[in-house]
Amino acid sequence: MKVQVLTTPGCSRCIVLEMLDQLGIKYDLIDVTEKPEYLEKYPIFTAPGLVIDGKLEFTGYS
């Protein structure tokens, strides 16, 4: 399973990252301002975006 977390510079350490860490799931952290090609592929409007095996599963959190 490949997990990617799409972030922006304003994102703080969020519950999504804490959850992945607690579950021992490895992930790539991607700043979409440095890699805008990810926004073309996964048009997120709220960070973080969680991509699992190439599919955007959800954005943001509450």
The model's pTM is 0.86
Please name each of the domains of the chain with its CATH number: 3-59 (3.40.30.10)
25 has a pLDDT exceeding 90: yes
Mean pLDDT (the chain) is: 89
pLDDT at 49: 92
pLDDT in tens, 49-61: 999 999 999 888 6
SS3 22: helix
pLDDT at 47: 85
SS3 59: strand
Question: What number is the average pLDDT over the span 23-27?
Answer: 96
Q: b/e per residue, 16-53, with b = 16+ CB within 10 A?
A: bbeebeeeeeebeebebeeeeebeeebebeebbbbbee
